[in-house]
Amino acid sequence: MIVKVQPIVEEVRLKGDAVLLDLTAKFGGVELRSPVLLPPCPPGLVVLGDDVRDAIDKTYSNIHKFYKAQATGGVPVVKIMPGVVCSRFARPIVRV
């Protein structure tokens, strides 16, 4: 599978966003003018409460801890926060 996508990855690495826009049109059937989609309202209109911002920060921290544990190799078992332990394991899939 890697052999099939490697030329695409290399082309994006060399030519950047222009290739992403072409590939989005080719594979997704969508013609975009920019690889960045902006929200439909001005950024100042969207205001997050402190509780939501705290939840996003905690989530980011948890994801980052687990990501760093995976980067060290082996099977990570990480205590993300009190009462929450995360691990990664392989399980064969009978059918997709």
pLDDT digits (tens, 9 = 90+) for 38-94: 777 787 787 888 999 999 999 999 999 888 888 877 778 888 888 988 888 778 888
Q: Which string of b and e fits 26-60 if b means at least 16 CB within 10 Å?
A: eeeeeeeeeeeeeeeeeeeeeeeeeeeeeeeeeee
Residues 31 and 5 in one domain: yes
Residues 57 and 30 in one domain: no
**Is position 12 within any domain?**
yes
Domain with 21 in it: 1-35
**Is position 95 within any domain?**
no
**Is position 68 within any domain?**
yes
Contacts 24+ apart (CB under 8 A), 39-48: none
Specify the pTM: 0.48
**Is position 40 within any domain?**
no
Residues 55 and 83 in one domain: yes
Residues 29 and 53 in one domain: no
Q: In the numeric block, which tokens belong to residue 64?
A: 């980052």
